[in-house]
Amino acid sequence: MKKNSFQQEQEYQYRYGQGSGSGLWAEAPKEEPERQYYFIEQARGMLKARFEAGLSSGRALEKYGKEQLDELLAGEFFGTFCVVTFGCQMNARDSEKLSGILEQIGLKEIQSENADLVLYNTCTVRDNANQKVYGRLGYLHALKKKRPDMKIALCGCMMQEPTVIEKIRKSYPFVDIIFGTHNIFKLAELICGRLERDRGMVIDIWEGTDQIVEDLPVERKYPFKSGVNIMFGCNNFCSYCIVPYVRGRERSRRPEDILAEIRRLVADGVVEVMLLGQNVNSYGKNLEEPMTFAELLRKVNEIEGLERIRFMTSHPKDLSDDLIAAMKECEKVCRHLHLPLQSGSSQILQVMNRKYTKADYLALVDKIRAAIPDISLTTDIIVGFPGETEEDFAETMDVVRRVRYDSAFTFIYSKRTGTPAAAMEDQVPEDVVKERFERLLKEVQQISAEVCGRDLHTVQKVLAESLDDHQAGYLTGRMSNNTTVHFPGDASQIGRIVDVRLEEAKGFYYMGTQV
Protein backbone atom coordinates (compact mmCIF):
# COMPACT_ATOMS: atom_id res chain seq x y z
CA MET A 1 0.00 0.00 0.00
CA LYS A 2 1.42 3.39 -1.02
CA LYS A 3 0.37 6.62 0.63
CA ASN A 4 1.32 10.24 0.11
CA SER A 5 1.98 12.49 3.09
CA PHE A 6 -1.46 14.06 3.07
CA GLN A 7 -3.02 10.63 3.19
CA GLN A 8 -0.63 9.45 5.86
CA GLU A 9 -1.77 12.31 8.03
CA GLN A 10 -5.37 11.31 7.43
CA GLU A 11 -4.66 7.71 8.25
CA TYR A 12 -2.92 8.76 11.44
CA GLN A 13 -5.97 10.74 12.51
CA TYR A 14 -8.07 7.71 11.81
CA ARG A 15 -5.89 5.33 13.83
CA TYR A 16 -5.61 7.83 16.62
CA GLY A 17 -9.37 8.29 16.60
CA GLN A 18 -10.06 4.64 17.08
CA GLY A 19 -7.82 4.47 20.17
CA SER A 20 -4.71 3.01 18.53
CA GLY A 21 -4.43 -0.66 19.23
CA SER A 22 -6.96 -0.68 22.04
CA GLY A 23 -10.11 -2.77 22.43
CA LEU A 24 -11.51 -4.04 19.17
CA TRP A 25 -8.30 -3.49 17.22
CA ALA A 26 -6.03 -5.33 19.66
CA GLU A 27 -8.00 -8.55 19.11
CA ALA A 28 -8.48 -8.22 15.34
CA PRO A 29 -7.00 -10.90 13.06
CA LYS A 30 -4.25 -9.58 10.77
CA GLU A 31 -5.22 -11.62 7.70
CA GLU A 32 -7.98 -10.81 5.20
CA PRO A 33 -10.79 -11.63 4.80
CA GLU A 34 -10.85 -13.00 8.40
CA ARG A 35 -10.15 -9.53 9.74
CA GLN A 36 -13.23 -8.10 8.01
CA TYR A 37 -15.46 -10.95 9.19
CA TYR A 38 -14.31 -10.07 12.71
CA PHE A 39 -15.24 -6.39 12.20
CA ILE A 40 -18.57 -7.35 10.64
CA GLU A 41 -19.40 -9.16 13.89
CA GLN A 42 -18.19 -6.24 16.01
CA ALA A 43 -20.17 -3.67 14.01
CA ARG A 44 -23.21 -5.92 14.21
CA GLY A 45 -22.89 -6.09 17.98
CA MET A 46 -22.63 -2.31 18.32
CA LEU A 47 -25.60 -1.66 16.03
CA LYS A 48 -27.69 -4.28 17.82
CA ALA A 49 -27.02 -2.68 21.20
CA ARG A 50 -28.00 0.76 19.87
CA PHE A 51 -31.11 -0.56 18.20
CA GLU A 52 -32.23 -2.33 21.37
CA ALA A 53 -31.67 0.82 23.41
CA GLY A 54 -33.84 2.69 20.88
CA LEU A 55 -36.55 0.04 21.19
CA SER A 56 -36.76 0.32 24.95
CA SER A 57 -36.70 4.12 24.96
CA GLY A 58 -39.40 4.39 22.28
CA ARG A 59 -36.99 6.32 20.04
CA ALA A 60 -36.95 3.52 17.45
CA LEU A 61 -40.69 3.73 16.89
CA GLU A 62 -40.46 7.48 16.50
CA LYS A 63 -37.56 7.17 14.03
CA TYR A 64 -38.80 4.38 11.76
CA GLY A 65 -42.58 4.49 12.11
CA LYS A 66 -44.55 1.34 12.80
CA GLU A 67 -44.40 -0.21 9.35
CA GLN A 68 -40.63 0.05 8.87
CA LEU A 69 -39.92 -0.95 12.46
CA ASP A 70 -42.03 -4.10 12.03
CA GLU A 71 -40.05 -4.95 8.88
CA LEU A 72 -36.76 -4.48 10.70
CA LEU A 73 -37.86 -6.65 13.60
CA ALA A 74 -39.22 -9.36 11.29
CA GLY A 75 -35.94 -9.50 9.35
CA GLU A 76 -33.75 -9.25 12.48
CA PHE A 77 -32.22 -6.00 11.24
CA PHE A 78 -30.89 -3.21 13.45
CA GLY A 79 -31.36 -0.25 11.11
CA THR A 80 -31.50 0.83 7.48
CA PHE A 81 -29.04 1.77 4.74
CA CYS A 82 -29.14 3.30 1.28
CA VAL A 83 -26.37 3.04 -1.30
CA VAL A 84 -26.39 5.52 -4.19
CA THR A 85 -24.11 4.62 -7.10
CA PHE A 86 -22.71 7.09 -9.59
CA GLY A 87 -20.75 6.14 -12.69
CA CYS A 88 -19.84 2.89 -14.39
CA GLN A 89 -20.41 -0.86 -14.11
CA MET A 90 -17.33 -1.20 -11.91
CA ASN A 91 -18.90 1.11 -9.36
CA ALA A 92 -22.19 -0.77 -9.63
CA ARG A 93 -20.34 -3.99 -8.80
CA ASP A 94 -18.46 -2.33 -5.92
CA SER A 95 -21.81 -1.16 -4.56
CA GLU A 96 -23.05 -4.75 -4.51
CA LYS A 97 -20.04 -5.66 -2.39
CA LEU A 98 -20.63 -2.71 -0.07
CA SER A 99 -24.31 -3.66 0.26
CA GLY A 100 -23.26 -7.23 1.05
CA ILE A 101 -21.16 -6.02 3.98
CA LEU A 102 -23.88 -3.66 5.21
CA GLU A 103 -26.48 -6.44 5.20
CA GLN A 104 -24.11 -8.65 7.17
CA ILE A 105 -23.69 -6.02 9.87
CA GLY A 106 -27.46 -6.06 10.30
CA LEU A 107 -28.76 -3.18 8.19
CA LYS A 108 -31.67 -3.44 5.76
CA GLU A 109 -31.36 -1.87 2.34
CA ILE A 110 -33.99 0.74 1.47
CA GLN A 111 -34.32 2.95 -1.59
CA SER A 112 -34.71 6.21 0.36
CA GLU A 113 -31.87 8.35 1.66
CA ASN A 114 -33.84 8.81 4.87
CA ALA A 115 -31.80 5.94 6.35
CA ASP A 116 -29.44 5.24 9.26
CA LEU A 117 -26.49 4.98 6.91
CA VAL A 118 -26.26 6.61 3.49
CA LEU A 119 -23.34 5.69 1.29
CA TYR A 120 -22.49 7.51 -1.94
CA ASN A 121 -20.24 5.53 -4.26
CA THR A 122 -18.89 8.34 -6.41
CA CYS A 123 -17.45 8.82 -9.91
CA THR A 124 -15.04 11.48 -11.09
CA VAL A 125 -14.58 10.68 -14.76
CA ARG A 126 -16.26 13.95 -15.75
CA ASP A 127 -16.82 17.03 -13.63
CA ASN A 128 -20.62 16.87 -13.78
CA ALA A 129 -20.46 13.61 -11.79
CA ASN A 130 -18.63 15.48 -9.00
CA GLN A 131 -21.09 18.37 -9.05
CA LYS A 132 -23.98 15.94 -8.60
CA VAL A 133 -22.41 14.58 -5.42
CA TYR A 134 -21.88 18.04 -3.91
CA GLY A 135 -25.46 18.95 -4.77
CA ARG A 136 -26.86 15.87 -3.07
CA LEU A 137 -24.69 16.35 0.01
CA GLY A 138 -26.62 19.57 0.68
CA TYR A 139 -29.83 17.56 0.64
CA LEU A 140 -28.32 14.91 2.95
CA HIS A 141 -27.32 17.59 5.41
CA ALA A 142 -30.95 18.67 5.71
CA LEU A 143 -31.98 15.04 6.32
CA LYS A 144 -29.27 14.57 8.93
CA LYS A 145 -30.42 17.61 10.89
CA LYS A 146 -33.73 15.83 11.39
CA ARG A 147 -32.05 12.51 12.12
CA PRO A 148 -28.87 13.32 14.06
CA ASP A 149 -27.66 9.73 14.47
CA MET A 150 -27.66 9.21 10.69
CA LYS A 151 -24.23 8.32 9.30
CA ILE A 152 -23.02 9.55 5.91
CA ALA A 153 -20.25 7.71 4.08
CA LEU A 154 -18.56 8.60 0.79
CA CYS A 155 -16.38 6.33 -1.29
CA GLY A 156 -15.32 5.69 -4.88
CA CYS A 157 -13.21 7.43 -7.47
CA MET A 158 -13.88 11.03 -6.47
CA MET A 159 -12.52 10.33 -2.97
CA GLN A 160 -9.12 9.41 -4.43
CA GLU A 161 -8.53 13.09 -5.21
CA PRO A 162 -6.86 15.02 -2.35
CA THR A 163 -8.59 18.30 -3.37
CA VAL A 164 -11.98 16.63 -2.93
CA ILE A 165 -11.11 15.40 0.58
CA GLU A 166 -9.92 18.90 1.48
CA LYS A 167 -13.20 20.40 0.28
CA ILE A 168 -15.35 17.88 2.14
CA ARG A 169 -13.42 18.38 5.37
CA LYS A 170 -13.89 22.11 5.10
CA SER A 171 -17.37 22.50 3.65
CA TYR A 172 -19.17 19.26 4.55
CA PRO A 173 -18.01 18.43 8.09
CA PHE A 174 -21.18 16.42 8.77
CA VAL A 175 -19.79 13.53 6.65
CA ASP A 176 -18.81 10.58 8.89
CA ILE A 177 -16.72 8.17 6.81
CA ILE A 178 -14.62 8.63 3.67
CA PHE A 179 -12.74 5.91 1.86
CA GLY A 180 -11.54 5.34 -1.69
CA THR A 181 -11.47 2.69 -4.39
CA HIS A 182 -8.71 0.43 -3.02
CA ASN A 183 -10.15 -0.43 0.38
CA ILE A 184 -13.87 -0.97 -0.06
CA PHE A 185 -13.42 -4.37 1.55
CA LYS A 186 -12.68 -2.49 4.82
CA LEU A 187 -16.13 -0.94 5.21
CA ALA A 188 -17.02 -2.87 8.39
CA GLU A 189 -13.72 -1.87 10.02
CA LEU A 190 -14.27 1.80 9.14
CA ILE A 191 -17.81 1.68 10.51
CA CYS A 192 -16.45 0.22 13.77
CA GLY A 193 -13.97 3.10 13.93
CA ARG A 194 -16.71 5.66 13.52
CA LEU A 195 -19.16 4.01 15.91
CA GLU A 196 -16.58 3.45 18.62
CA ARG A 197 -15.57 7.05 19.06
CA ASP A 198 -18.92 8.48 17.93
CA ARG A 199 -17.65 11.81 16.62
CA GLY A 200 -15.59 13.33 13.82
CA MET A 201 -14.75 12.00 10.41
CA VAL A 202 -13.02 8.70 9.65
CA ILE A 203 -10.88 9.10 6.53
CA ASP A 204 -9.00 6.20 4.98
CA ILE A 205 -7.67 6.70 1.47
CA TRP A 206 -5.01 4.48 -0.09
CA GLU A 207 -3.03 5.78 -3.01
CA GLY A 208 -2.66 2.32 -4.48
CA THR A 209 -2.63 -1.36 -3.61
CA ASP A 210 -1.64 -4.73 -4.96
CA GLN A 211 -4.03 -6.45 -2.60
CA ILE A 212 -7.15 -8.17 -3.96
CA VAL A 213 -9.33 -9.40 -1.11
CA GLU A 214 -11.49 -12.36 -2.16
CA ASP A 215 -14.52 -13.96 -0.54
CA LEU A 216 -16.38 -11.14 1.14
CA PRO A 217 -20.18 -11.01 1.14
CA VAL A 218 -21.95 -9.57 -1.94
CA GLU A 219 -25.59 -8.51 -2.26
CA ARG A 220 -26.51 -8.79 -5.94
CA LYS A 221 -28.99 -6.38 -7.47
CA TYR A 222 -30.30 -8.96 -9.94
CA PRO A 223 -30.66 -12.67 -9.08
CA PHE A 224 -30.04 -13.79 -12.68
CA LYS A 225 -27.14 -11.63 -13.86
CA SER A 226 -23.98 -10.33 -12.29
CA GLY A 227 -20.85 -8.34 -12.95
CA VAL A 228 -17.60 -10.16 -12.23
CA ASN A 229 -14.40 -8.18 -11.78
CA ILE A 230 -11.56 -9.75 -13.71
CA MET A 231 -9.10 -6.91 -13.23
CA PHE A 232 -8.77 -3.58 -11.48
CA GLY A 233 -7.07 -0.34 -12.54
CA CYS A 234 -5.67 0.86 -15.84
CA ASN A 235 -2.16 1.41 -17.19
CA ASN A 236 -3.02 3.27 -20.37
CA PHE A 237 -2.95 6.89 -19.27
CA CYS A 238 -5.10 8.26 -22.05
CA SER A 239 -4.27 11.93 -21.66
CA TYR A 240 -7.82 13.09 -20.77
CA CYS A 241 -8.59 10.31 -18.31
CA ILE A 242 -8.40 10.37 -14.54
CA VAL A 243 -9.10 6.66 -14.09
CA PRO A 244 -5.46 5.49 -13.85
CA TYR A 245 -4.91 8.03 -11.05
CA VAL A 246 -7.97 7.04 -9.02
CA ARG A 247 -8.15 3.31 -9.74
CA GLY A 248 -4.42 2.64 -9.76
CA ARG A 249 -2.31 0.25 -11.85
CA GLU A 250 -3.64 -2.80 -13.60
CA ARG A 251 -4.08 -5.88 -11.40
CA SER A 252 -5.68 -9.07 -12.72
CA ARG A 253 -7.53 -11.54 -10.54
CA ARG A 254 -6.32 -15.12 -10.74
CA PRO A 255 -8.32 -17.15 -13.28
CA GLU A 256 -9.14 -19.83 -10.70
CA ASP A 257 -10.72 -17.20 -8.43
CA ILE A 258 -12.75 -15.76 -11.33
CA LEU A 259 -13.94 -19.18 -12.48
CA ALA A 260 -14.82 -20.25 -8.93
CA GLU A 261 -16.83 -17.07 -8.44
CA ILE A 262 -18.74 -17.61 -11.70
CA ARG A 263 -19.46 -21.24 -10.80
CA ARG A 264 -20.83 -20.09 -7.44
CA LEU A 265 -22.96 -17.46 -9.16
CA VAL A 266 -24.35 -20.01 -11.62
CA ALA A 267 -25.19 -22.37 -8.75
CA ASP A 268 -27.07 -19.42 -7.25
CA GLY A 269 -29.21 -18.81 -10.35
CA VAL A 270 -27.08 -16.49 -12.49
CA VAL A 271 -27.34 -17.07 -16.26
CA GLU A 272 -25.43 -14.02 -17.54
CA VAL A 273 -22.12 -12.57 -16.40
CA MET A 274 -20.45 -9.33 -17.39
CA LEU A 275 -16.66 -9.60 -17.09
CA LEU A 276 -15.49 -6.23 -15.85
CA GLY A 277 -12.23 -4.34 -16.26
CA GLN A 278 -11.13 -0.91 -17.48
CA ASN A 279 -9.27 -2.64 -20.26
CA VAL A 280 -10.18 -6.33 -20.35
CA ASN A 281 -8.05 -6.98 -23.43
CA SER A 282 -4.90 -6.67 -21.39
CA TYR A 283 -6.15 -9.18 -18.80
CA GLY A 284 -3.61 -11.54 -17.32
CA LYS A 285 -0.38 -9.85 -18.34
CA ASN A 286 0.76 -9.35 -14.75
CA LEU A 287 -0.28 -12.74 -13.39
CA GLU A 288 2.34 -15.14 -12.03
CA GLU A 289 1.30 -17.45 -14.85
CA PRO A 290 0.27 -15.04 -17.60
CA MET A 291 -2.96 -15.75 -19.44
CA THR A 292 -4.76 -13.84 -22.18
CA PHE A 293 -8.31 -12.57 -22.11
CA ALA A 294 -9.15 -14.88 -25.03
CA GLU A 295 -8.01 -17.88 -22.97
CA LEU A 296 -10.08 -16.71 -20.02
CA LEU A 297 -13.17 -16.32 -22.24
CA ARG A 298 -12.78 -19.87 -23.50
CA LYS A 299 -12.60 -21.17 -19.93
CA VAL A 300 -15.64 -19.16 -18.82
CA ASN A 301 -17.52 -20.43 -21.86
CA GLU A 302 -17.08 -24.00 -20.58
CA ILE A 303 -18.92 -23.35 -17.34
CA GLU A 304 -22.02 -25.48 -17.33
CA GLY A 305 -25.30 -23.71 -16.66
CA LEU A 306 -23.96 -20.31 -17.67
CA GLU A 307 -25.78 -19.00 -20.74
CA ARG A 308 -24.41 -15.59 -21.61
CA ILE A 309 -21.08 -13.83 -21.31
CA ARG A 310 -20.56 -10.11 -21.80
CA PHE A 311 -17.48 -8.03 -21.15
CA MET A 312 -16.55 -4.38 -20.75
CA THR A 313 -14.40 -2.45 -21.74
CA SER A 314 -12.13 -3.25 -24.69
CA HIS A 315 -9.31 -1.01 -25.80
CA PRO A 316 -8.91 -1.16 -29.61
CA LYS A 317 -5.11 -1.25 -29.35
CA ASP A 318 -5.15 -4.56 -27.44
CA LEU A 319 -7.90 -6.40 -29.29
CA SER A 320 -6.14 -9.47 -30.65
CA ASP A 321 -7.03 -11.81 -33.51
CA ASP A 322 -7.19 -14.58 -30.97
CA LEU A 323 -9.86 -12.67 -29.03
CA ILE A 324 -11.93 -12.29 -32.21
CA ALA A 325 -11.52 -16.03 -32.79
CA ALA A 326 -12.55 -16.77 -29.20
CA MET A 327 -15.63 -14.55 -29.50
CA LYS A 328 -16.59 -16.31 -32.69
CA GLU A 329 -16.15 -19.83 -31.37
CA CYS A 330 -17.63 -19.34 -27.87
CA GLU A 331 -21.39 -19.68 -28.26
CA LYS A 332 -22.10 -18.04 -24.90
CA VAL A 333 -20.27 -14.82 -25.73
CA CYS A 334 -22.88 -12.21 -26.65
CA ARG A 335 -22.93 -10.63 -30.10
CA HIS A 336 -21.96 -7.23 -28.79
CA LEU A 337 -18.67 -5.37 -28.57
CA HIS A 338 -18.17 -2.02 -26.91
CA LEU A 339 -15.18 -0.50 -28.66
CA PRO A 340 -14.43 3.05 -27.53
CA LEU A 341 -13.34 5.26 -30.42
CA GLN A 342 -12.90 8.55 -28.47
CA SER A 343 -12.01 10.45 -31.66
CA GLY A 344 -11.87 9.73 -35.39
CA SER A 345 -8.89 12.02 -35.95
CA SER A 346 -5.51 10.28 -35.99
CA GLN A 347 -3.90 13.51 -34.87
CA ILE A 348 -6.19 13.85 -31.83
CA LEU A 349 -5.89 10.12 -31.08
CA GLN A 350 -2.16 10.57 -30.87
CA VAL A 351 -2.41 13.44 -28.42
CA MET A 352 -4.97 11.41 -26.47
CA ASN A 353 -2.29 8.67 -26.22
CA ARG A 354 -4.69 6.06 -27.61
CA LYS A 355 -1.99 4.30 -29.68
CA TYR A 356 -4.12 3.65 -32.79
CA THR A 357 -5.02 5.69 -35.86
CA LYS A 358 -8.32 6.19 -37.63
CA ALA A 359 -7.21 3.65 -40.24
CA ASP A 360 -6.22 1.09 -37.55
CA TYR A 361 -9.63 1.44 -35.93
CA LEU A 362 -11.55 1.05 -39.19
CA ALA A 363 -9.44 -1.96 -40.18
CA LEU A 364 -10.17 -3.56 -36.80
CA VAL A 365 -13.91 -3.00 -37.27
CA ASP A 366 -13.73 -4.63 -40.71
CA LYS A 367 -11.88 -7.61 -39.29
CA ILE A 368 -14.42 -8.08 -36.48
CA ARG A 369 -17.37 -7.76 -38.84
CA ALA A 370 -15.84 -10.21 -41.30
CA ALA A 371 -15.47 -12.79 -38.52
CA ILE A 372 -18.78 -12.11 -36.74
CA PRO A 373 -21.20 -10.47 -39.21
CA ASP A 374 -24.12 -10.14 -36.79
CA ILE A 375 -22.13 -8.33 -34.08
CA SER A 376 -23.43 -5.06 -32.64
CA LEU A 377 -20.83 -2.39 -32.12
CA THR A 378 -21.16 0.41 -29.59
CA THR A 379 -18.68 3.10 -28.64
CA ASP A 380 -17.64 6.11 -26.54
CA ILE A 381 -16.76 9.42 -28.21
CA ILE A 382 -15.36 12.60 -26.70
CA VAL A 383 -16.09 15.94 -28.36
CA GLY A 384 -13.97 19.03 -27.78
CA PHE A 385 -10.65 17.51 -26.72
CA PRO A 386 -8.01 20.31 -26.59
CA GLY A 387 -6.89 21.33 -30.06
CA GLU A 388 -9.81 19.60 -31.85
CA THR A 389 -10.40 21.46 -35.12
CA GLU A 390 -13.42 21.31 -37.40
CA GLU A 391 -11.38 18.95 -39.63
CA ASP A 392 -10.66 16.65 -36.68
CA PHE A 393 -14.32 16.62 -35.79
CA ALA A 394 -15.22 15.82 -39.41
CA GLU A 395 -13.00 12.70 -39.09
CA THR A 396 -15.02 11.60 -36.05
CA MET A 397 -18.27 12.09 -37.98
CA ASP A 398 -16.76 10.10 -40.84
CA VAL A 399 -15.97 7.11 -38.60
CA VAL A 400 -19.47 7.27 -37.13
CA ARG A 401 -20.98 7.16 -40.63
CA ARG A 402 -18.73 4.32 -41.76
CA VAL A 403 -19.03 2.08 -38.69
CA ARG A 404 -22.74 2.73 -38.10
CA TYR A 405 -22.79 1.98 -34.37
CA ASP A 406 -25.81 0.43 -32.69
CA SER A 407 -25.34 3.11 -30.09
CA ALA A 408 -22.69 5.58 -29.03
CA PHE A 409 -22.12 7.31 -25.71
CA THR A 410 -21.10 10.85 -26.55
CA PHE A 411 -19.32 13.04 -24.03
CA ILE A 412 -18.28 16.65 -23.92
CA TYR A 413 -14.60 16.77 -22.97
CA SER A 414 -14.24 17.53 -19.27
CA LYS A 415 -10.98 18.91 -17.93
CA ARG A 416 -9.69 16.68 -15.11
CA THR A 417 -7.05 18.29 -12.91
CA GLY A 418 -3.85 16.28 -12.88
CA THR A 419 -4.27 14.73 -16.34
CA PRO A 420 -1.90 15.81 -19.14
CA ALA A 421 -4.80 17.16 -21.25
CA ALA A 422 -5.82 19.60 -18.52
CA ALA A 423 -2.55 21.46 -19.01
CA MET A 424 -2.84 21.59 -22.81
CA GLU A 425 -3.27 24.88 -24.54
CA ASP A 426 -6.01 25.60 -27.06
CA GLN A 427 -8.92 24.20 -25.05
CA VAL A 428 -11.91 24.42 -27.41
CA PRO A 429 -14.47 27.19 -26.64
CA GLU A 430 -17.66 25.95 -25.02
CA ASP A 431 -20.05 27.14 -27.74
CA VAL A 432 -18.00 25.39 -30.45
CA VAL A 433 -17.99 22.13 -28.45
CA LYS A 434 -21.74 22.31 -27.79
CA GLU A 435 -22.50 22.84 -31.47
CA ARG A 436 -20.31 19.87 -32.51
CA PHE A 437 -21.79 17.73 -29.78
CA GLU A 438 -25.34 18.41 -31.04
CA ARG A 439 -24.36 17.50 -34.61
CA LEU A 440 -22.72 14.28 -33.46
CA LEU A 441 -25.64 13.29 -31.26
CA LYS A 442 -28.09 13.78 -34.12
CA GLU A 443 -26.00 11.66 -36.47
CA VAL A 444 -25.49 8.90 -33.90
CA GLN A 445 -29.20 8.76 -33.07
CA GLN A 446 -30.30 8.65 -36.65
CA ILE A 447 -27.90 5.86 -37.51
CA SER A 448 -28.76 3.82 -34.46
CA ALA A 449 -32.49 4.08 -35.23
CA GLU A 450 -31.76 2.65 -38.70
CA VAL A 451 -29.31 0.00 -37.54
CA CYS A 452 -31.26 -1.27 -34.55
CA GLY A 453 -34.16 -2.34 -36.74
CA ARG A 454 -32.16 -4.85 -38.75
CA ASP A 455 -33.45 -7.95 -36.91
CA LEU A 456 -37.12 -7.07 -37.45
CA HIS A 457 -39.39 -10.10 -38.04
CA THR A 458 -36.77 -12.58 -36.81
CA VAL A 459 -37.01 -14.75 -33.69
CA GLN A 460 -34.35 -13.94 -31.08
CA LYS A 461 -33.27 -15.28 -27.70
CA VAL A 462 -34.20 -12.66 -25.11
CA LEU A 463 -33.27 -12.65 -21.42
CA ALA A 464 -36.36 -11.43 -19.54
CA GLU A 465 -34.94 -8.91 -17.06
CA SER A 466 -37.82 -7.01 -15.46
CA LEU A 467 -41.47 -6.04 -15.62
CA ASP A 468 -41.99 -3.35 -18.24
CA ASP A 469 -42.15 0.06 -16.53
CA HIS A 470 -44.60 1.42 -19.06
CA GLN A 471 -47.05 -1.32 -19.83
CA ALA A 472 -48.78 -3.75 -17.46
CA GLY A 473 -48.55 -7.41 -18.52
CA TYR A 474 -45.29 -6.80 -20.43
CA LEU A 475 -41.68 -7.76 -19.73
CA THR A 476 -38.47 -5.99 -20.70
CA GLY A 477 -35.53 -8.06 -21.86
CA ARG A 478 -32.31 -7.99 -23.80
CA MET A 479 -31.15 -9.72 -26.94
CA SER A 480 -27.66 -11.16 -27.20
CA ASN A 481 -26.60 -7.96 -28.98
CA ASN A 482 -27.89 -5.94 -26.01
CA THR A 483 -30.92 -4.41 -27.77
CA THR A 484 -33.98 -3.98 -25.55
CA VAL A 485 -37.22 -5.85 -26.34
CA HIS A 486 -40.63 -5.41 -24.71
CA PHE A 487 -43.06 -8.33 -24.97
CA PRO A 488 -46.10 -9.75 -23.18
CA GLY A 489 -45.16 -12.01 -20.27
CA ASP A 490 -45.34 -12.36 -16.50
CA ALA A 491 -43.01 -12.02 -13.53
CA SER A 492 -42.41 -15.78 -13.28
CA GLN A 493 -40.36 -15.57 -16.48
CA ILE A 494 -37.88 -12.98 -15.20
CA GLY A 495 -34.37 -14.40 -15.38
CA ARG A 496 -35.21 -16.84 -18.18
CA ILE A 497 -34.10 -16.76 -21.79
CA VAL A 498 -37.13 -16.97 -24.06
CA ASP A 499 -37.75 -16.93 -27.84
CA VAL A 500 -39.32 -13.70 -29.00
CA ARG A 501 -40.45 -12.70 -32.49
CA LEU A 502 -39.56 -9.07 -33.15
CA GLU A 503 -42.76 -7.53 -34.51
CA GLU A 504 -42.05 -3.81 -34.51
CA ALA A 505 -38.82 -1.77 -34.57
CA LYS A 506 -39.09 1.38 -32.49
CA GLY A 507 -35.68 2.92 -33.04
CA PHE A 508 -33.79 1.88 -29.92
CA TYR A 509 -35.99 -1.06 -29.00
CA TYR A 510 -38.40 -3.65 -30.37
CA MET A 511 -41.89 -4.75 -29.48
CA GLY A 512 -42.25 -8.51 -29.76
CA THR A 513 -44.24 -11.62 -28.86
CA GLN A 514 -43.10 -14.93 -27.40
CA VAL A 515 -43.16 -17.90 -29.71
Cα gap 229→280, rounded to integer Å: 10
- From ligand 5AD, ligand SF4, none, interface partner of 100 (C-beta below 5 to 8 A by class): none
Concatenated DSSP letters of 133-193? HHHHHHHHHHHHHHSTT-EEEEEEGGGGSHHHHHHHHHH-TT--EEE-SS-GGGHHHHHHH
Instruction: Show contacts with ligand 5AD in window 397-416 (CB under 6 A).
Output: 411, 413-414, 416
- Shortest spacing between CB 337 and ligand SF4, in angstroms: 15
276 binds ligand 5AD (CB under 6 A): no
236 binds ligand SF4 (CB under 6 A): yes
- From ligand 5AD, ligand SF4, none, interface partner of 356 (C-beta below 5 to 8 A by class): none
Cα gap 213→426, rounded to integer Å: 44
125 binds ligand 5AD (CB under 6 A): yes
281 binds ligand 5AD (CB under 6 A): no
CB 12 within 8 A of CB 166: no
- From ligand SF4, ligand 5AD, none, interface partner of 399 (C-beta below 5 to 8 A by class): none
Of 380, 398, 435, 465, the residue at the interface with ligand 5AD (CB under 6 A) is 380
Strands 376-383 and 474-479: unpaired
The nearer residue to ligand SF4, 140 or 238, going by C-beta atoms, is 238
Query: Between helices 255-267 and 293-301, what is the axis angle to 10°?
Result: 30
Instruction: Show contacts with ligand SF4 in window 333-392 (CB under 6 A).
Output: none
Of 47, 155, 241, 323, the residue at the interface with ligand SF4 (CB under 6 A) is 241
Per-residue binder mask for ligand SF4 (CB under 6 A), 290-329, x = binder: -------------------------x--------------
- From ligand 5AD, ligand SF4, none, interface partner of 413 (C-beta below 5 to 8 A by class): ligand 5AD
The CB-side HSE value for 243 (13 A sphere, CA atoms) comes to 19
CB 100 within 8 A of CB 94: no
Of 241, 327, 428, 479, the residue at the interface with ligand 5AD (CB under 6 A) is 241
CB 228 within 8 A of CB 258: yes
The CB-side HSE value for 47 (13 A sphere, CA atoms) comes to 29
> What count of other Cβ atoms lies within 10 Å of the Cβ of residue 216?
20
> What count of other Cβ atoms lies within 10 Å of the Cβ of residue 96?
19
Write out the residues near ligand SF4 by the rule CB under 6 A. 234, 236-238, 241, 243-244, 278-279, 315
- Note the residues at the interface with ligand 5AD (CB under 6 A): 125-126, 240-241, 340, 342, 380, 382, 411, 413-414, 416
